Amino acid sequence: MHESPTPTGPARPSASEANEAIRHLVDTGVGGEWPSEAYEFLLAEWAVASRAEVSVTQ
């Protein structure tokens, strides 16, 4: 019987989870400064998740 390897590392968020995190980041406005690094990271996570979800549904 073939067993799939157990994934290692943190799981990637879904596109909707990443989108919600982006909304939260923008709405809370960390310290009055634009959190560009956090925004860019979340945007990249959203993009990866969106591509994965599109390829699954096609």
Residues 50 and 45: their CA atoms lie apart, in Å, by 9
Alpha helix ranges (H) inside the chain: 15-28, 36-57
Which letter, b or e, does each residue of 6-22 get, where b requires 16 or more Cβ atoms within 10 Å of its Cβ?
Answer: eeeeeeebebeebbebb
Over the chain, what is the mean pLDDT?
Answer: 79
Please tell me the total number of residues recorded for the chain in this structure: 58
Q: What is the pLDDT along the chain (58 residues), one digit of tens a residue?
A: 556 555 555 678 899 999 999 999 888 876 777 888 989 999 999 999 988 776 665 5
